[in-house]
Amino acid sequence: MRYKTIILTDKLTFASNHLAKGQYKVNPKITRNVGKINPQTYFTQINVEIKDSEPAHFPFNLEVSLRAIFEFQDFPPENEIYDFLKIPAVNILYPYVRSAVTSLTAMSMNPPIVLPIVDASVLFTDAAQDSYIIS
């Protein structure tokens, strides 16, 4: 499948709760959203959340969202477009999301968080599944 253009937009949010020493268990929640903007333009968005939780306090809350907007050259059937948006497009975006999470946490003078390298087909095993928690 060939796309004509890809536009990346991002949202980065970092809120420090407290600086504390110790070890923390990181369970990032990764979600994806796909959709149609107009007849030729579609998007895939990946969101990563790392939040402070009651059982194990975390020193900050982090949200990273990256959206890719795709315009297609040829007009494939819509089900093929959505198949592309759910797995291959996520594979295109995921390295950029990983890099943003690592860079943002390292710049905050905390140990950098490095998300694992994963294949979107493993991350979102069901076509209808749109969220995953890495544990």
In tens, the pLDDT along 5-32 reads: 666 666 666 666 555 566 667 778 889 9
Task: Give the amino acid at 76.
Answer: P
Alpha-carbon distance 54 to 52, whole Å?
7
Q: Is the pLDDT of residue 113 over 80?
A: yes
CATH architecture assignment, domain 3-111: Roll (3.10)
> Is the entire prediction scored with pTM above 0.75?
yes
Q: Is the pLDDT of residue 134 over 50?
A: no
Q: Is the pLDDT of residue 91 over 90?
A: yes
